[in-house]
């Protein structure tokens, strides 16, 4: 592992939170409701449980190689050629997710706030800011994440005000379980994409090893609990604010109920909200740029970190410009989600099994 940073558990918590909470937070209730109906909140809770299980698996793998990231111990476990292939594929994965987040966030900003601004300008501003932050060390990136995480509580406060001031109907949540187990499980799949980001634990684990193995597990578990609770709460607010018929045609219910809130001191609170939400988008972009950059510094070793971040920012920008229609964006979205299963489940747990079969730990000796 390269020079270690004295990073804290707080930084780890907010790094995971800021990576997970991004573009998906606005459309999550609609996407899950389209499958699970009034039981959408149950699907999100189950998705959080699945994420927790995956995190524990990542943690067990990280314990066996505490001072190395996946980009290093992959070669130790499966050989240089196969390890290099895995590393390059993760670099590409980070690039594709960056482009996907950039694509969807631009579409929302364009439709809600900057309707007359060309999309390529919006994309350029978002990716430019992410590249500027992503060029820094993990410790500095984490410090920024800790500071801007306070904006998430603004979203929660606004949602609480909606429950208090807006006429809501709690009966929309009942009867619990009426959509059926099959649809609830399908909703878990829909909620899964909005929770992406926890897989970066495979990369950042060694930077936090000085906090202790248990501390790392507690930190990422708390972050997952916070994200799951936040998503569940926002979904419940959406479910009781809009009727089932309305939710079928409201693609971003969170923005719509924020817009319906009337405060004398702020005329368009939804625009204020979008402005603050952009910060969460940039942090998600930064995290996945960091994933690709970190992989390149270990695998290719040709340029410095800043150059790689700039390169992947440009590539993500160009990829995001390609899909011009909504159906093309949806096709790209399905492609990335399908690939994510491979990088979040198949590869990490295959490496974990191999490490136990070969009885290898970080030193390459039997355990």
Predicted confidence (pLDDT) per residue in 315-357, tens digit:
999 999 998 778 888 899 889 988 999 999 999 999 999 999 9
Give the chain's domain count. Answer: 1
**Residue 267 domain-assigned (yes or no):** yes
**Residue 153 domain-assigned (yes or no):** yes
Place of tokens 């999550």: 28
Task: Using pLDDT thresholds of 50, 70 and 90, give the confidence band for residue 23.
Answer: confident
Mean pLDDT to the nearest integer, 214-233: 94
Task: Using pLDDT thresholds of 50, 70 and 90, give the confidence band for residue 5.
Answer: low
**Residue 333 domain-assigned (yes or no):** yes
Alpha-carbon torsion (151, 318, 31, 288), positive or negative: negative
The H-or-E segment that residue 179 falls in is none
* Structure tokens that stand for 156 in this block: 């929660």
**Residue 203 domain-assigned (yes or no):** yes
User: Is the bond into 282 cis (omega within 30 degrees of 0)?
Assistant: no
Asked if 77 and 83 touch (Cβ cutoff 8 Å), the reply is: yes
Q: What is the distance, to the nearest Å, from the Cα of residue 98 to the centroid of all Cα atoms in its chain? A: 10
**Residue 304 domain-assigned (yes or no):** yes
pLDDT at 316: 96
Domain containing residue 146: 9-357
Q: What is the CATH number of the domain that holds 28?
A: 1.20.1740.10
pLDDT at 3: 47
**Residue 364 domain-assigned (yes or no):** no
Predicted confidence (pLDDT) per residue in 98-139, tens digit:
999 999 999 999 988 888 999 999 999 999 999 999 999 999
Predicted confidence (pLDDT) per residue in 157-195, tens digit:
888 888 888 888 888 888 898 889 999 999 998 888 888
315 or 154, which is more confident: 315
pLDDT at 14: 93
Give residues with Cβ within 8 angstroms of 37, minimum separation 6.
178, 179, 183, 244
**Residue 208 domain-assigned (yes or no):** yes
pLDDT at 362: 67
Asked if 37 and 206 touch (Cβ cutoff 8 Å), the reply is: no
Query: Of 44-53, 92-101, 161-170, 209-218, where does mean pLDDT reach its minimum?
Result: 161-170
Across all residues in the chain, what is the average pLDDT?
Answer: 89
Mean pLDDT to the nearest integer, 254-263: 79
**Separation between Cα atoms, residue 59 and residue 256, nearest integer Å:** 38
Q: What is the distance, to the nearest Å, from the Cα of residue 315 to the centroid of all Cα atoms in its chain? A: 20
**Separation between Cα atoms, residue 145 and residue 43, nearest integer Å:** 28
**Residue 3 domain-assigned (yes or no):** no
pLDDT at 264: 67
Give residues with Cβ within 8 angstroms of 108, minimum separation 6.
23, 26, 252, 255, 274
- % of the chain surpassing 90 pLDDT: 56
The pLDDT of residue 16 is above 90? yes
205 or 212, which is more confident: 205
């Amino acid at each position: 592992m390269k020079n270690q940073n004295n990073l804290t558990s707080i930084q780890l918590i907010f790094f995971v939170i800021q990576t997970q909470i991004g573009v998906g937070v606005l459309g999550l209730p609609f996407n899950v409701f389209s499958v699970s109906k009034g039981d959408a909140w149950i699907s999100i809770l189950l998705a959080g449980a699945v994420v927790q299980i995956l995190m524990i698996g990542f943690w067990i793998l990280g314990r066996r190689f505490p001072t190395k990231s996946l980009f290093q111990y992959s070669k130790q476990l499966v050989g240089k050629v196969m390890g290099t292939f895995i590393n390059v594929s993760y670099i590409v994965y980070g690039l594709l997710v960056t482009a996907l987040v950039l694509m969807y966030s631009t579409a929302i900003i364009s439709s809600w706030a900057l309707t007359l601004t060309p999309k390529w300008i919006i994309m350029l501003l978002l990716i430019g800011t992410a590249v500027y932050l992503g060029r820094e060390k993990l410790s500095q990136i984490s410090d920024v994440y800790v500071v801007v995480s306070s904006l998430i509580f603004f979203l929660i406060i606004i949602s609480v005000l909606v429950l208090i001031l807006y006429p809501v109907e709690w009966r929309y949540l009942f009867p619990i379980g009426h959509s059926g187990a099959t649809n609830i499980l399908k909703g878990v799949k829909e909620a899964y994409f909005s929770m992406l980001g926890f897989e970066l634990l495979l990369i950042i684990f060694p930077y936090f090893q000085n906090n202790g193995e248990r501390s790392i597990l507690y930190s990422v578990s708390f972050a997952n609990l916070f994200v799951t609770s936040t998503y569940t709460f926002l979904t419940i607010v959406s479910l009781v604010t809009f009727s089932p018929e309305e939710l079928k045609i409201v693609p971003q219910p969170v923005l719509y109920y924020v817009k319906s809130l009337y405060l004398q001191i702020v005329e368009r609170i939804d625009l204020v909200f979008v402005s603050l939400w952009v910060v969460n988008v940039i942090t998600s972009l930064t995290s996945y740029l960091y994933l690709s950059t970190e992989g390149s510094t270990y695998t290719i070793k040709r340029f410095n970190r800043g150059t790689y971040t700039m390169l992947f920012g440009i590539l993500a920008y160009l990829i995001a410009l390609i899909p011009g229609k909504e159906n093309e964006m949806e096709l790209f979205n399905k492609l990335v989600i399908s690939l994510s299963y491979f990088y979040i489940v198949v590869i990490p747990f295959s490496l974990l099994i191999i490490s136990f079969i070969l009885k290898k730990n970080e030193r390459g000796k039997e355990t």
